[in-house]
Structure 1
Amino acid sequence: MEFMKVLDLKNTILNIKQEFSDYFKERDAEINGSLLALLSGEHVLLLGPPGTAKTLLANKICETIEGGNFFHYLLTRFSTPEEIFGPLSLKALEKDEFSRRVEGYLPTAHIALLDEIFKANSSILNSLLTVLNERKYHNGKEVMDVPLFSVFGASNELPEEDESLEALYDRFLFRYSVDYIQHEENLEALIFENTEDFMSSIKLPVEDIKEIQKKARDMRVDPEVRAIIKELRRELKNSNIFVSDRRWKKIINVLRVASAVNGHTSVNRMTVVLLQHMLWDLPEQKETVRKLILERIVSGGTDTGKLKQNVLDLRNSVYSCLQQELPDPLSCNKCFEQEKKVTGGMKSSRFTGVKAPKSLTFNNALDFLKHHTEFPTHTYSFGLEYGNNINSSLGFEAVVEQFRRKYGFEFKLSLDYGDKRLYEKEYENLEERLNYFRKQVQEEEKVLEDTLRENIWVSGQDSKEILMKYRSKNTDIYEIANHLKEIRALLEKPKIFDVELKKAEVS
Structure 2
Amino acid sequence: MDYFKEREAEINGSLLAVLSGENLLFLGPPGTAKTQLAKNICQSIKGGNFYNYLLTSFSTPEEIFGPLSLKALEEDEFRRKIEGCLPTAHIALLDEIFKASSAILNSLLTILNEHKYHNGREIVDVPLLSVFGASNELPEEDESLEALYDRFLFRYRLAYIQDDENFRTLLFRSPEDFTPCIQISVSEIEEVRRSAKSIPVDSDVEMIITELRKNLQLQEIEISDRRWKKVIQVLKVAACSSGCPAVDRTTALLLQHMLWNLPEERETIRKTVFELAVSGGISTEKMRHEAEDLQAAVSIALKNELPAKAVCDSCGEEFHLRQEIEVHHISHPNHSYILRIEGSSEGSSRIYPYENLIREIDNLHENAGKKSTLSPAQKEIFEKEFGVLGDRVKHVKYRFEEERELLRQLMEANIWLSTLDRNEALLLHDARNIELSEIDALISKYQSMPGLQSKQVQPKQQSIKEDAKVSVPDNGNSVNGFMKGIGSRFKLK
TM-score by length of 1: 0.73
Match of 2:443, as an amino acid?
L
**1:275 maps onto 2:255 in alignment:** yes
Shift in alpha-carbon separation, 1:207–1:423, aligned structure 2, 3 A: same
Match of 2:106 in 1: 126
Match of 2:201 in 1: 221
CA contact (8 A) 1:415 1:491 kept: no
Give distance in 1, aligned partners of 2:165 and 2:281.
39
Per the TM alignment, residue 318 of structure 1 is displaced from its structure 2 partner at its CA by 2.1
Per the TM alignment, residue 436 of structure 1 is displaced from its structure 2 partner at its CA by 3.8
Give distance in 2, aligned partners of 1:229 and 1:70.
35
Describe how 1:240-251 pairs up with structure 2 within 5 A: 240-251=220-231
Give distance in 2, aligned partners of 1:410 and 1:451.
55
Shift in alpha-carbon separation, 1:163–1:42, aligned structure 2, 3 A: same
CA contact (8 A) 1:81 1:123 kept: yes
CA contact (8 A) 1:424 1:491 kept: no
CA contact (8 A) 1:41 1:149 kept: yes
Match of 2:50, as an amino acid?
F
Shift in alpha-carbon separation, 1:403–1:150, aligned structure 2, 3 A: closer
Shift in alpha-carbon separation, 1:73–1:490, aligned structure 2, 3 A: same
Shift in alpha-carbon separation, 1:410–1:479, aligned structure 2, 3 A: closer
Gaps of 5+ in 2: 309-321, 323-362, 455-493
1:65 to 23, 34, 45: 45
Give distance in 2, aligned partners of 1:65 and 1:301.
39
Match of 1:293 in 2: 273
Match of 1:461 in 2: 420
Q: Map Cα deviations across residues 255-281 of structure 1 (whole Å, 9 max, x no partner).
A: 111111111110111111111111111
**1:430 maps onto 2:389 in alignment:** yes
Match of 2:153 in 1: 173
Describe how 1:102-141 pairs up with structure 2 within 5 A: 102-141=82-121
Per the TM alignment, residue 171 of structure 1 is displaced from its structure 2 partner at its CA by 0.8
Per the TM alignment, residue 231 of structure 1 is displaced from its structure 2 partner at its CA by 1.2
Larger Rg: 1
Match of 2:76 in 1: 96
CA contact (8 A) 1:324 1:412 kept: no
User: Please, which moves more after superposition, 135-144 or 43-52?
Assistant: 135-144
Match of 2:437 in 1: 478
CA contact (8 A) 1:64 1:203 kept: yes
Give distance in 1, aligned partners of 2:5 and 2:35.
15
**1:411 maps onto 2:370 in alignment:** yes
**1:258 maps onto 2:242 in alignment:** no
Match of 2:62 in 1: 82
CA contact (8 A) 1:89 1:101 kept: yes
Give distance in 2, aligned partners of 1:79 and 1:211.
37
What SS class does the counterpart of residue 83 from structure 1 fall into? Answer: helix
Match of 1:440 in 2: 399
Shift in alpha-carbon separation, 1:489–1:131, aligned structure 2, 3 A: same
Shift in alpha-carbon separation, 1:403–1:471, aligned structure 2, 3 A: closer
What SS class does the counterpart of residue 53 from structure 2 fall into? Answer: strand
**1:182 maps onto 2:162 in alignment:** yes
Match of 2:436, as an amino acid?
I
Match of 1:493 in 2: 452
Shift in alpha-carbon separation, 1:118–1:412, aligned structure 2, 3 A: same
Per the TM alignment, residue 420 of structure 1 is displaced from its structure 2 partner at its CA by 4.7
What SS class does the counterpart of residue 279 from structure 1 fall into? Answer: coil
Match of 2:292, as an amino acid?
L
Q: How many residues align?
A: 401
Give distance in 1, aligned partners of 2:375 and 2:142.
62
Match of 2:429, as an amino acid?
Y
Match of 2:123 in 1: 143
**1:200 maps onto 2:159 in alignment:** no
1:230 to 194, 197, 210: 210
Match of 1:477, as an amino acid?
L
State the percentage of identical aligned residues: 55
Q: Map Cα deviations across residues 301-336 of structure 1 (whole Å, 9 max, x no partner).
A: 1121222222222222222222369989xxxxxxxx
Give distance in 2, aligned partners of 1:30 and 1:105.
25
Q: Which has the higher contact order (CA 8 A, sep 6+)?
A: 2
Describe how 1:362-381 pairs up with structure 2 within 5 A: none
Gaps of 5+ in 1: 1-18, 329-363, 365-401, 496-507
Give distance in 1, aligned partners of 2:126 and 2:374.
72
User: Please, which moves more after superposition, 202-211 or 121-130?
Assistant: 202-211
2:286 to 302, 306, 317: 306
Give distance in 1, aligned partners of 2:53 and 2:16.
22
Per the TM alignment, residue 429 of structure 1 is displaced from its structure 2 partner at its CA by 4.7
Give distance in 2, aligned partners of 1:198 and 1:78.
34
Shift in alpha-carbon separation, 1:63–1:411, aligned structure 2, 3 A: same
Per the TM alignment, residue 417 of structure 1 is displaced from its structure 2 partner at its CA by 5.5
What SS class does the counterpart of residue 25 from structure 2 fall into? Answer: strand
Give distance in 2, aligned partners of 1:63 and 1:285.
33
Taking only aligned residues, the RMSD between alpha carbons, in angstroms, comes to: 2.7
What SS class does the counterpart of residue 250 from structure 2 fall into? Answer: helix
